Amino acid sequence: MTQVFLASRNPKKLVEMRRILVEYVPDVEVLGLDDVTPYDEPAETENTFAGNALLKARAAVAATGLPSLADDSGLCVDELNGMPGVLSARWAGVAKDDGANNRLLLEQLADVPDERRTAHFTAAVAFAYPVGAGGTAEHVVLGEMPGRIIRELRGSGGFGYDVLFVADGGERTSAELSVEEKDAISHRGKALREIAPVVADVLTGL
């Protein structure tokens, strides 16, 4: 197996990464945080998605020695001046409490008319890998999915704010789309597809 490390414990992200990479590297094995020796994960202290993704990718390759991917993504709501942004996962104050985050967002937009409930998801994916004598090479790509925030939770798929977000040109939330439909238009899918050939070139050249 050809191994690449994704700095995540989210099984859906690991499956998504492998599903996209396997088109380029059929024998790829995507390892997650639970598959490697624990290490100190860096705090997401940067004020951009790209900065946070790079922090995590650098720490991952330093700890594992494997070609490493990391992502940071979030929801940017125009009426909230681009927030929650990099704070998306902890918007309600507790990290990764999707229910609380969604409830808070609905409360904040309660009086905002539909035409001003525009938003977009942004994803940054960073790839870092060992080169030469102790060196590291890095790549970062961004993907966006524009859309709008609806007024009620809909759907059971996806994660995070997917239950509230309808992409431009659609009527169903991201949480109501099939895996294939979401991959085709999602911010993360776009970013992963853009970086996949770079990852494949590195993996097949090792």
Q: Is 9 annotated as a binding residue?
A: yes
Q: Is 12 annotated as a binding residue?
A: yes
Q: Is 11 annotated as a binding residue?
A: yes
Q: Is 96 annotated as a binding residue?
A: no
Q: Is 162 annotated as a binding residue?
A: yes
Q: Is 34 annotated as a binding residue?
A: no
Q: Is 120 annotated as a binding residue?
A: no
Task: Label the pairing between strands 135-149 and 118-131.
Answer: antiparallel
- Check if 34 is active-site: no
Q: Is 56 annotated as a binding residue?
A: no
- Can you tell me the distance from the alpha carbon of 51 to that of 85, in angstroms, rounded to the nearest whole number? 13
Q: Is 8 annotated as a binding residue?
A: yes
Task: Label the pairing between strands 135-149 and 165-167.
Answer: antiparallel
Q: Quick one: which of 14, 76, 22, 13 has its CA closest to 49?
A: 76
Got the DSSP string for 99-150?
A: HHHHHHHHHHTTTS-GGG-EEEEEEEEEEEEEETTTEEEEEEEEEEEEEEE-
Sign of CA dihedral 130, 131, 134, 136: negative
Burial status of residue 91 (CB atoms within 10 A of its CB: 0-12, 13-18, 19 or more): buried
The residues that bridge with 71 in the sheet, in sequence order, are 125
Marked catalytic residue, from 27, 34, 71, 72: 72
Q: Is 161 annotated as a binding residue?
A: yes
Binding residue positions for Mg(2+): 72
Q: Give me the active site residues, please.
A: 72
Binding residue positions: 8-13, 72-73, 159-162, 182, 187-188
Binding residue positions for substrate: 8-13, 73, 159-162, 182, 187-188
